[in-house]
Amino acid sequence: MSTIQQRFDAIVIGAGFAGIYALYKLHRELGLSVRCFEKGGGVGGTWFWNRYPGARTDTETRVYRYSFDKEIYDGWDWRSRFANQPEVLAYLRSITKHYELDEHITLNTFIKSAVYDEGAREWIVTTSNGDVYACTYLVSAIGVLSKLHIPDIPHRDKFRGAVVHTGTWPEALTLDDKRVGVIGTGSTGVQLISAAAKAAHHVTVFQRSAQYCVPAGDDLVGEQEIADYRENFDKVWDGIRDTRVACGFPESIVPTFSVSAEEREKVFEDNWKIGTGFRFMFGTFGDIASNEDANKEATNFIEKKIHEIVTDPETARKLIPDQLYAKRPISINGYYEIYNQANVSLVSLKETDIVEFTEDGVRTADGQEHQLDVLAFATGFETIVGSFKDVEIRGLDGVELQQHWKDEATSYMGVATANFPNFFMVPGPKSVFCNIPPGIEAQLDWIGELIRKARSEAATAILVTPDAERDWTQLCDTYAAYTLLPKVKSWIFGANVPGAKSQTLFYFGGLNGYRQAWSDLSQNSFKGFVFDSGK
């Protein structure tokens, strides 16, 4: 074994939203020695890599942030209701700077492996350039959506233009006056398509499945809204933590069919105007994501909008999804309108798939060549489990994490897994499905408590019992089955990539339910976790 260069109490892998808060929590609050390794050339994670034109959050800026840092919040100019990629990145950079975290982050360093040494009760962590470190606690913050999914299209080397994936967008690549092809119409694709429609000479949208796209709403936040929010900061965040998807709007518990058809139409119309897909799904009625008939009411409304907006009936037909409204809801302003522009055309891949690259573009099965300067894959990611594929993580008895997950990606509380002592994933599989930053904060706050307890009891290893992991897995499956979400193929169930099986990757009991589950555990000596002193 190579020489260990340095020992830390904790190593954090990744410096995105989760890694930065892990570093803050473990170093600033718990006083541990911590080193964070980040493969990118800067902090930001998702927001470092996803620099494609149009990239922005579709959760309101005021809640797409940490709640712990009121200091920066007070001085922050957040007039954009939906922060764009440079704004989110600037925010995260300001956090690492303000809280003096940068000196604990090593950039441009990929962690190749982490192997648990049972004798020494420490993790041996090796970087891609062969440096070796040891730590007691290992925190993986490598991202939910960081492993790119790139479909294999024949003869790629023939194409003379640029081929990119939105998840590694080259900083210098602009779309001005270019002929741009976009494959994929998820949240990313629609943002890129909208930006490209403004700048490019021509945009060809290659759509496999049409999705339901709801306007995002006003772009700017008013002065009064900012003032109110600042004044009620703590109260607002308490409220957000007590909701399911934690996106900062009131969630409805009203059943769709408990109101008249006219009232229903008004609720949909009002929410269409206010905006965001999450609000449309969870703020209109309480059963859109769980009752097929209710879901159909919502989709009928969106279909009607598509017909009203899109002037060419054939294009409108292609844009209407043939599935339930049960993927991750999309928010985007003016999306259907761009299909009325002369510089945008739509190809339905269900009707004619791409068969190959040519020198000048791609050819579809109908024989047509689509001439392109840039082909952008907005084809998504291999959710959670995929993120771990490039890192070898070995726990007790040398068992590798992917092996542990060969039947199903399991965890206890979405953060830990049996046979991997002192290893925490933020988030891991079966983690809470909600707005990312408050979800991450909940997880790390409780991980911090687990570590505090271990240290106070001189326990050298925090383990998870297989029973606890099995029970959590079953609970997550039960919650998922209450929803319509498993009924369509999407990244939420990891079913978006060829050959991958659909499995429950999230806890759908809401952030409120998730926090309650942790709180209950803490009242019960963290049942399911074992604090082992090795004696």
Q: Is there binding between residue 188 and ligand NA7 (CB under 6 A)?
A: yes
Determine the interface stretch with ligand NA7 among 196-204, 272-280, 376-384, 387-395 (rule: CB under 6 A). 376-384
Token readout for 317 is: 């037909």
Determine the interface stretch with ligand NA7 among 184-192, 277-285, 308-316, 450-458 (rule: CB under 6 A). 184-192
Residues that contact ligand NA7, how many (by CB under 6 A): 18
Amino acid identity of 516? Q
Determine the interface stretch with ligand NA7 among 20-28, 374-382, 405-413, 456-464 (rule: CB under 6 A). 374-382
Q: From CA 181, how far away is CA 346, in angstroms rounded?
A: 10
What's phi and psi for 345, nearest 5 deg? -130, 155
Q: Is there binding between residue 51 and ligand NA7 (CB under 6 A)?
A: no
- Contact (Cβ atoms closer than 8 angstroms) between residue 379 and residue 208: no
Residue 435 CB, shortest distance to ligand NA7, in Å, is 10
Member of 187, 295, 422, 503 binding ligand NA7 (CB under 6 A): 187
Q: Is there binding between residue 215 and ligand NA7 (CB under 6 A)?
A: no
Q: From CA 493, how far away is CA 483, in angstroms rounded?
A: 12
Q: Is there binding between residue 380 and ligand NA7 (CB under 6 A)?
A: yes
- Contact (Cβ atoms closer than 8 angstroms) between residue 451 and residue 137: yes
Q: Is there binding between residue 147 and ligand NA7 (CB under 6 A)?
A: no
46-49 — which CB contacts under 8 Å span 24+ positions? 46/16, 46/17, 46/143, 46/145, 46/146, 47/16, 47/85, 47/88, 47/89, 47/92, 48/16, 48/89, 49/146, 49/167, 49/168, 49/169
Give the closest residue to 273 by CA, choosing from 207, 354, 218. 218
Determine the interface stretch with ligand NA7 among 72-80, 172-180, 185-193, 502-510 (rule: CB under 6 A). 185-193
Q: How many H-runs (helices) and E-runs (strands) does the chain carry?
A: 15, 24
Residue 307 CB, shortest distance to ligand NA7, in Å, is 21
**Contact mark string toward ligand NA7, 322..351, x via CB under 6 A:** ------x--------------------x--
Torsion of CA 521, 524, 529, 535, to 10 degrees: 160
Q: Is there binding between residue 378 and ligand NA7 (CB under 6 A)?
A: yes
Q: Is there binding between residue 186 and ligand NA7 (CB under 6 A)?
A: yes
- Contact (Cβ atoms closer than 8 angstroms) between residue 381 and residue 500: no
Q: Is there binding between residue 275 and ligand NA7 (CB under 6 A)?
A: no
Alpha carbon of residue 382 to chain centroid: 11
Residue 184 CB, shortest distance to ligand NA7, in Å, is 3
**Contact mark string toward ligand NA7, 106..145, x via CB under 6 A:** ---------------------------------------x
Q: Is there binding between residue 364 and ligand NA7 (CB under 6 A)?
A: no
Query: Which bin fits 457, alpha (ψ -120 to 50), beta or left (φ > 0)?
Result: alpha
List Cα–Cα distances, 489 to 144, 477, 505, in angstroms.
17, 16, 13
Member of 61, 299, 348, 496 binding ligand NA7 (CB under 6 A): 496
Q: From CA 285, how far away is CA 255, in angstroms rounded?
A: 6
247 vs 451, which CB is nearer to ligand NA7?
A: 247
Residue 22 CB, shortest distance to ligand NA7, in Å, is 20
Q: Which of residues 224-243 bind ligand NA7 (CB under 6 A)?
A: none
Of all residues in this chain, which one has the CB nearest to ligand NA7 in the complex?
A: 186
Per CB under 6 A, residues contacting ligand NA7 are 145, 151, 183-189, 208-209, 328, 349, 378-380, 491, 496
